[in-house]
Structure 1
Amino acid sequence: MGNGMNKVLPGLYVGNYRDSKDAAQLDRYEITHIVAIHDAARRLHPDKHYLCVLASDSPEQNLSQFFPLCNDFIHAARLRGGNVLIHCLAGMSRSVTVAVAYIMSVTSLNWKEALKVVRVGRAVANPNLGFLKQLHEFEESRLADERRRLKERYPSVALVDSDEEQCQLLLVSYQSLILSRDICDGQCAYGQVCPTGLCRVSSKSRIFRRKGSQKGTSPPTSGRSSPRVLPPTPPARLRSCPSSASLPASLLADDSPGPHRSASRLSMLSDAGAGARPRTTPLMPHAASTWRVRERAGSAPVSPRASPPATPRHSWRLKKS
């Protein structure tokens, strides 16, 4: 996770949040477009094209609703010769899921084969179970329509043959890496040492000591005591994009139709001044732009209720001299 971004296909990279902030690394790989997909996605570099997707790393998070929009952004950038970085926080789950969905959409691979392709380039790729289920459902019900839509919208075949050939070579490399235990398919047995550190270890190997215990003290001999397990961390709540002081949160997204007819709403911010009026631009603007994607209606977090202002006990009035 901390070794920098990884190349998956020509023009397609996957990394973490630290990689997205590293200007030197972005220049080294000539990154021109960035897909930021996490709880507080925002634009960090003014000279890059951004697609900001607000989504949590939770199995209940509906990530498949953003697949068509991400596919448009990534594919259009690669057709123009750009390099795209997809990143979340750790570069393991959300960003990998979006990369797998894109590879499925532009090649003939299924979701399992596309995940193997990503793991060859990035060994720590490991989407959560909810995202794996969404990839499976996307393949079963919507993949054929998405492939047809991309071919109609982007009739260029510049990447078709090269992507297909590259994916087949990576699948062959995947089998060799599995045999040499350089990467893992995420299915190591409990207690077995994973070569990449992806798989979980057996809970029996964990030792939990009670509060106040000291080294050298022997455990109690009477009765059976079970280890104390820490409570699970609740899933992170979605946070909305930073809102303007003059507009309510419900009017942040532009009501004009975007580049794709999806239920999610997005706002496109141009590089003009802060007082410029928002406008709808084509899919690939010439100037660096930011797309912020919000959740569908019904899934956005509820705004906290404002507390009434406290009335001061005394009022002081100043007289002019």
Structure 2
Amino acid sequence: MSDVQEVELVVERREFAADGVLALTLRHPLGEPLAAWEPGAHVDVALGPDLERQYSLCGDPADRSAWRIAVLREPAGRGGSAHVHEEVREGDKLRVRGPRNHFALRPAARYRFIAGGIGITPVLPMLAAAEAAGAEWTLLYGGRTRDSMAFTGELARYGERVTVAPQDETGLLDLGSVLDELPEDALVYCCGPGPLLDAVEERCPAGALHVERFQAKDQPTGTDVEFEVELAQSGRTVTVAPGVSVLDTVRAAGVEVLFSCTEGTCGTCETDVLDGVPEHRDSVLTAEEREAGETMMICVSRCRGGKLVLDL
């Protein structure tokens, strides 16, 4: 896989984008330009020992002087959002790796964007890109309450193409208004909580739909069996035991590999498959990418046969 940048950035600005949503603007301490990115990209942010989280870039891709992320305070979370809200201050330095993009905006004449809650973050720069390209598009944006929905002020400039639908005012999102008469040449981009993504997947043609999940989707799994993994770069072969991931196995063998979520959602550990058939259990790859079998997320995915050859 392609290399990504890892750099220490300074928190230049800290401001609330909505109730419970904190936006951070990050810059290089020496003013150097940051890596280029496209709508849909995210970065890995190291918040402390064994505490790393992924956040979508939601600023302007043309502005390489700064990256903007937004973090939802999740009381029932695993500690990442609480750390950002309670500990991170302007002037602090954060180690950031990226960007990487598994939610890229493909060219199309028409788009239908659907966002739920903090899922607006990767969609926000997509709207600007679609607008600049002259595409026809609409956004359906839901949240618990109007005050909890981030960046509504920025969205106001798009007028009637944006429908803001707080649940306490309008109920659940009216997906039928977007998907029941979907133009054949339209692409649907959706990000938000799992139940919303599941509902959209049920109603939308698979070829038109692109989603990004913040939490792992339940995957059908087979019986874990032992298999071998040949590490092509070193010529070594390791045995992956039942119940043990490829990631843990290769790390135990002393192989350095990038990883983060260990749940198959972030794409950090994506690895090229040189031979063999992966059993995909991630929430990142599209159906077409799974069928091609050219890469796999080694934190969760396994092997459909007795052996895989990986570019490690």
TM-score (norm 1): 0.27
TM-score normalized by structure 2?
0.28
Higher relative contact order (CA 8 A, sep 6+): 1
Larger Rg: 1
Higher helix residue share: 1
